[in-house]
Amino acid sequence: LDEVLPGRRGLALSAAPLLGPFVAGHVPGALLLAPDEEAGRWVRAAAEAAALDHAVCLKERRGDRDVAVSLHGAPVRGRHVVVLDDVASTGRTLAAAARAAFAAGATGVDVAVTHALFVGDAFAHVGAAGVRRVWSSDCVPHASNALSVVPLLTRALERILG
């Protein structure tokens, strides 16, 4: 953004460091699971902020609503898993990750996302995959909103304004 708007200061923000402690408060000892490699960096930041274990899945996208997720050795058996992602749109990736976690022996699966778009039947589709709870930030208004990003925005404004 700084390159596109010379003289302006851009600041990238992530709700991941807020989501990690939130999840740890609701599911102590949870395994945070990134449903794909792209989400790996956010899940790593969330895990570090809450001292939780994390793992990253491999995703194969075959179409807009057709994805396959593999765990490739993630330590899931006997653990409660929280799939964490930045955006939930069709819900197919989250549902595929939840099914893969259950198939690998997870005792339960919840979902935490920053942007809860949940287009069409997406929310129901995630629930049908066995997901117990869905938590999201209030970046996008949704019934799953459980975490405010106001502290994140406040800190950013304080940094920008000095």
CB 32 within 8 A of CB 53: yes
Distance CA 43, CA 37 (A): 10
Show the tokens assigned to 3.
């390159």
Annotation marks residue 105 as catalytic:
no
Looking at 54, 59, 79, 99, which residue is catalytic?
Answer: 59
Contacts of 14 (CB under 8 A, 6+ apart): 42, 45, 114
User: How many residues does this entry show for the chain?
Assistant: 162
Which residue carries 């997406």 as its tokens? 122
Instruction: Give one DSSP letter per residue of 101-139, joined into a string.
Output: HHHTT-SEEEEEEEEE---TTHHHHHHHTT---EEEETT
Per the structure block, which two tokens stand in for 48?
């570090």
Six token digits for residue 141: 């208004």
Catalytic residues: 59
